[in-house]
Structures are given as C-alpha cells and as structure tokens.
C-alpha cells in the first residue's frame, strides 16, 4: 500500500489515509503546485490488473470531471503514476451521511430530511441532464459539512465497478441495499434507478432502518425483486413518518421504473410538499378502473346473466311483484341473496342512467353554445427558427400572428447572429389568430476563454478543454529544469483568449531537466584520500563506501567503483566505491 510521504507524478504528496471503500482507498493529500489540500482516491491493487476496468475507470472519470455543481464533489484530475491509478478530488471537511445516521439516537425530522435530500436531488438532477447516472447513491457517498452543505461523490464510478462486483461481493454488501430491482436483475440502469436509490435513502433517513435486510447480498437482491418494502410508518414505531412522506418514499421505491418519479426534480417537489404541508403534487393514476375494482367482472357477469335481467326469471319477477310470501318462505336464504343482487343491479343501472343524462346535458349545452358563439379556428404556429428577424416577423404577420422580439439573446453554434434561435409557442403548436409568438435571437456561436493549462498534466488539460468543447492541438516537448516532467509549461493561445467550439490549444510539455552525460573517471588503484581530493577538483561526489579484503591492493586503496571508469553516466551521478581492507600484495 502507498505510504504517507509518497509523491505521485512529482506533484501530489500523500499525507494520511482518511477512508476506504470496496474499490478504492482515499488519502488526504497536498497538491504541491496549486498549494492546496486535496483528496486522492486510489484504486485498490486487485483492480489495476484489469485493462477493461482501467479503461472504463478513466473514461468515466473524465466524463464526471465535467460536472460543476455546488452539491457534487469536484474531480480535478484523472492520473496514473506507473501502476497506480488515482483521482484527485476536492477535499470536503465533514462526515458521510452513514456516519451521521449511526451517531443519531433518533431518525431525522421531516424538515431536516428535506434540507438534506433536496440538495442530493439537485446534484442528481444536474448529473442526469449531463447524461451521467450515479448508479450507487447511498449514505456513504453523501458528505455533509458542518454548515449543512451536502456534497455527492463517486458519480459515474459505480458503472466502472459493476464488472468487478461478481467476484468481490464482500465489497459491495453496503451497496446492494440501495440498488434498484432492475440493477439487482442485472439489467441496464437508467436515471430512474437513481430515483429508487434516493427512495431507499429517504426510507433510511426517515426510519433509521433499511427497507430490506438479509444474510447475503443475494438474499437482499431477491427481496427487492419479489417484494415491496414494509411501509415506513410501520418500520419503526419510534419514527413519526407523515402519511404524505410515506407515499413519496413508496413511490420512489416502486419496483416498476415507469411508476416512480420520472425525475429528481419531481421527487424534490413532492418531498417539499410532504415535509412542510403533508400533501403531494404528483399523484399516481389508478392502476385499474374504480368501478371494476368494486364489482368483480365474474360476479357482475353472474348477476346480469345472459338475458340481460340480472339472472332473474320472469316467474321470479312475478313472485316479487305479487308478494308471494309462501314462495319466499320456501326459498329461505336464497331469496335474500336474489333480492340483494336485484338491488345491486338496480344501483348499477341507476348510476349508468345518471351518467347518460349528465353526458347528454353537457352535449346539449355545448351544442346550444356553439349555435350562438363559434370560436375562431386555431392555426398551427409556423417554424421560424433559423430565419432572420425581419423574415420571421413577416411570416408571422402573413398568418395573422404577432412576432415579439425578446431582449436577451442566446448562443447557438449552428444559427447565425441575429436569426431566431427559440420561438414560444413552439412550431406546430395550435394558436388562435392574433396570438403573440415570442422570439429569442441568436448571438452566434458561444465563445469560451481559453483556460490556463500551465502546471497541468496533458491528461488534465484534455479534460479541461473537452468540458468547454475545445481540444488539444500540437504537443511540443522540451527539457526544462523548473517544470517537472510531464507537466505543461506553455500554451498557445494564452489563457483568456476567446475561442469557439472545436478550436484547439497548442501546448508545450516539459521533459524535465536536461540530462548531460559525462565520461566517468577511474579511481581504481588510488588511495582513498588522493581519490577524494581528485574528485573534489572535478566536481564528482562519492556515494556509498564499502570495504573488502584484498591481496591485490594495499589497505585504504580503491579496488572497485560504480559506475565503472570510462563509462557514460548522467552528470552529478554519485560514484559508489569499494575500499581494500588489506593485507595487500606480499
């Protein structure tokens, strides 16, 4: 294992181990170039021998490095030093949410829950818009600073870990509790898988318990696939979970992705209403028709029968109308059942009749209204995106619409400055004649100031440029005594120069100090005192000195050296010598 004091890539010094996970070790470190404290997340040795895993780890790390959000731990760089693969991260002072849960005597209150999870939802929603799925939302990956700021870490890295989970099940025991059912089945995760994990997180924060427990990861995964969780209100009698909050949690944890919240913002909105007002904004549609839920199809078919009279014969109807008490007495309980069925059929028919009258009344009212008032026919809004301002306004006027130019402009790479970039309502939306179409004009392609790449590695520079839609151009390498090997010492254009998407930045990468080779002088056969004086005269230093018995050289005479005499070695290389202990030649 890497020891404190180790310096990686001549820049990042390891200070102390501050955490560990199934796939990595986390160290506090110092960025000696930027003079800042960082977190260094290093892959465990068992993962460094898999080239597929390493390639995916790099790819995911570079993608996530483009995320910039106050609730996401920033990745500064994706690095490699020989067989050590590591990420350089923002260091957040605080504890992870799992530690905080263990330290609390009781679950969080609803308002406390919202203050935490709302920030997590913001982070997850931002990542989803950037096409990054976390895949491993859990309290261990959520860090809370003392002032209440929440930071989510490990974005996208869980995908790289998925290939290794089969043989390292002991390492993912903590994660399986938070995986979605589709992940447990080995299916592809999407943004709704993160919604499920947020639901599990809410469940644990609100109750202090996990929704599913088991002796092994497989038993927990099977429960997720086959069962719904115990409602949070029944999971812990000491936790007062409001009804609306319970519904939010259960909807987020629905086994069907289609029936969960479809975005982290939907979950956040409902969570706010549940925690502060005990109500919901997003209410599920019923899975089956309410009337069908009340009356079973088979029972209703049996009641109505094939003759459309609820299964009652003409004779039975006559007996009821005539009040034949003898027949009723002989029928006993069967007659009561028929009477109940008859009443139920009458109730159903009455409801149907009432609905028919209501619908007919509405249709009649609408017909009368249309007779006296005929609303203007709607037209489709034309598409004017890409048109010049004058052309767009003229097209709208020709159709009896009004074009309104908004003050703010937006950058569009494929739309010339002054042409329409956005229209509202959108094209082909039905509008009435005389409606106003709001137009936002383009200011042309977006420009970005060239970032400073000095003292960055080439890989870090590539990440910075790709985040801005830029790329590395020509790469020149030269020797430099002040810039460590592998780090950038120059760039063209300079930092701050406006650039368009697709532009390139040329860089100069240091090869380190110039290495001058010299011919090594031979000191073999010289007395040590004479050799030391001669070495000082030519600027050579002796390194390690060892002693051996020798019958060929007198005592205190040099009998061997490394590097050997007359060989080439970098200037300044110390010379290790072997000195005779005697007795020397007879």
Domains in the chain, ordered, with CATH? 1-91 (3.30.200.20), 97-311 (1.10.510.10), 379-441 (3.30.10.20), 448-510 (3.30.10.20), 517-583 (3.30.10.20)
Pick the catalytic residue: 136, 269, 270, 480?
136
Helix, strand, coil content of the chain in percent (nearest 5): 40, 20, 40
pTM over 0.85: no
pLDDT at 17: 87
Whole-angstrom CA distances from 180 to 121, 254, 359, 437 are 17, 9, 45, 44
Pairing label, strands 568-570, 517-519: antiparallel
CB-based contact 34:455 (threshold 8 Å): yes
Dist CA 461 CA 453 (whole Å): 6
The answer to whether the beta carbons of residues 265 and 125 sit under 8 Å apart is yes
Using alpha carbons, list the distances in angstroms from residue 563 to 67, 217, 526, 560. Answer: 52, 59, 16, 9
Q: What pLDDT is attached to residue 291?
A: 41
- What's the token pair of residue 575? 């010379």
Q: From CA 563, how far away is CA 431, in angstroms rounded?
A: 88
What are the DSSP E strand ranges found in 91-218?
Answer: 95-96, 142-144, 150-152
136 catalytic per annotation: yes
Contact between residue 229 and residue 262 where contact means Cβ atoms under 8 Å apart: no
Locus of tokens 């109730």:
347
In degrees, rounded to 5, the angle at the alpha carbon of residue 526 between the alpha carbons of residues 521 and 528 is 100
What is the pLDDT, as a whole number, of residue 516? 80
23 Cβ contact partners less than 8 Å away, ≥ 6 residues apart: 43, 44, 47, 157, 161, 164, 168, 171
Half-sphere exposure of 241 (CA within 13 A, CB side): 27
pLDDT of residue 346: 67
What tokens does 416 get? 């010339």
- Determine the Cα–Cα distance for residues 442 and 302; give it in Å rounded to an integer: 68
Q: Which two tokens stand for residue 351?
A: 């409801």
* SS3 assignment, position 24: strand
Average pLDDT per 10 consecutive residues for the chain, totaling 586 residues: 86 88 84 89 83 74 78 89 89 89 87 93 91 89 89 69 40 68 85 95 94 87 90 86 93 94 93 89 55 39 38 36 38 50 67 68 60 63 91 93 88 84 82 89 83 90 83 92 90 90 91 84 91 83 90 92 88 89 82
Three-state SS at 421: strand
Q: Cα torsion for 141, 146, 147, 151, to the nearest 10°?
A: -10
Q: Which residues neighbour 454 within 8 Å (Cβ) at sequence distance 6 or greater?
A: 488, 489, 490, 491, 495
Which one, of 370, 365, 398, 363, lies nearest residue 384 by Cα?
398
Question: C-alpha distances in angstroms, 361 versus 348, 370, 450?
Answer: 20, 14, 69
pLDDT at 378: 79
Instruction: State the pLDDT at residue 363.
Output: 64
Q: Say how far apart CA 527 and CA 558 lie, in whole Å.
A: 6
State the sign of the Cα–Cα–Cα–Cα dihedral 292, 298, 302, 307: positive
């Amino acid at each position: 294992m890497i020891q404190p004091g180790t310096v990686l890539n001549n820049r990042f010094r390891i200070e102390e181990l501050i955490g560990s996970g199934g796939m990595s070790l986390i160290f506090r470190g110092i960025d000696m170039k930027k003079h800042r404290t960082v977190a260094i997340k290093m892959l465990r040795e068992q993962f460094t021998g898999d080239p597929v895993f390493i390639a995916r780890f790099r790819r995911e790390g570079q993608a996530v490095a483009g995320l910039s959000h106050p609730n996401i731990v920033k990745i500064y760089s994706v690095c490699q030093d020989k067989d050590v693969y590591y990420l350089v991260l923002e260091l957040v002072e605080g504890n992870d949410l799992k530690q905080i849960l263990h330290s609390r005597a009781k679950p969080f209150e609803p308002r406390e829950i919202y203050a935490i999870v709302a920030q997590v939802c913001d982070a997850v929603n931002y990542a989803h818009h950037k096409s990054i799925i976390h895949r491993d939302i859990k309290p261990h990956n959520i860090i809370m600073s003392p002032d209440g700021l929440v930071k989510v870490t490990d974005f996208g890295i869980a995908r790289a870990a998925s290939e290794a989970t089969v043989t390292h099940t002991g390492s993912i025991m903590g994660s399986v509790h938070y995986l979605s059912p589709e992940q447990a089945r080995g299916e592809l995760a999407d943004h709704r898988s993160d919604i499920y994990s947020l639901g599990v997180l809410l469940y644990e924060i609100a109750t202090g318990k996990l929704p599913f427990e088991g002796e092994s990861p497989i038993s927990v995964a099977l429960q997720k696939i086959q069962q719904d969780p115990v409602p949070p209100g029944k999971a812990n009698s000491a936790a007062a979970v409001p009804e609306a909050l319970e519904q939010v949690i259960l909807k987020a944890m629905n086994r069907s992705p289609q029936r969960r919240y479809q975005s982290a913002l939907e979950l956040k909105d409902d969570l706010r209403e549940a925690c502060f007002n005990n109500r919901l904004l997003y209410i599920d549609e019923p899975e089956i028709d309410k009337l069908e839920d009340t009356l079973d199809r088979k029972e209703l078919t049996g009641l109505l029968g094939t003759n459309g009279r609820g299964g009652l014969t003409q004779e039975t109807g006559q007996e009821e109308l005539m009040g034949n008490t003898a027949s009723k007495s002989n029928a006993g309980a069967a007659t009561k059942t028929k009477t109940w069925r008859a009443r139920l059929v009458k109730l159903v028919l009455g409801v149907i009749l009432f609905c028919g009258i209501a619908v007919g009344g509405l249709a009649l009212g609408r017909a009368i209204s249309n007779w006296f008032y005929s609303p203007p026919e709607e037209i489709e809004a034309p598409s004017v995106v890409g048109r010049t301002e004058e052309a767009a306004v003229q097209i709208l006027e020709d159709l009896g619409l009004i074009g309104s130019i908004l003050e703010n402009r937006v950058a569009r790479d494929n739309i010339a400055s002054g042409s329409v970039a956005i229209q509202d309502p959108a094209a082909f939306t039905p509008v009435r004649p005389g409606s106003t179409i709001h137009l936002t004009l383009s200011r042309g392609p977006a420009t970005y100031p060239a970032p400073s790449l000095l003292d960055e590695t080439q890989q870090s520079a590539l990440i910075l440029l790709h985040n801005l839609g830029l790329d590395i151009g020509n790469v020149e390498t030269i020797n430099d005594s002040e810039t460590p090997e592998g780090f950038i010492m120059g760039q063209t254009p300079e930092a701050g120069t406006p650039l368009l998407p697709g532009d390139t930045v040329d860089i100069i990468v240091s090869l380190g100090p110039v290495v001058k080779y010299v011919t090594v002088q031979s000191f073999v056969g010289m007395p040590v005192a004479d050799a030391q004086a001669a070495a000082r005269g030519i600027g050579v230093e002796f390194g390690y000195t060892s002693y051996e018995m020798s019958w060929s050289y007198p005592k205190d005479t040099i009998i061997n050296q490394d590097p050997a005499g007359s060989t080439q070695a970098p200037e300044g290389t110390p010379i290790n010598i072997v000195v005779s202990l005697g007795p020397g030649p007879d």
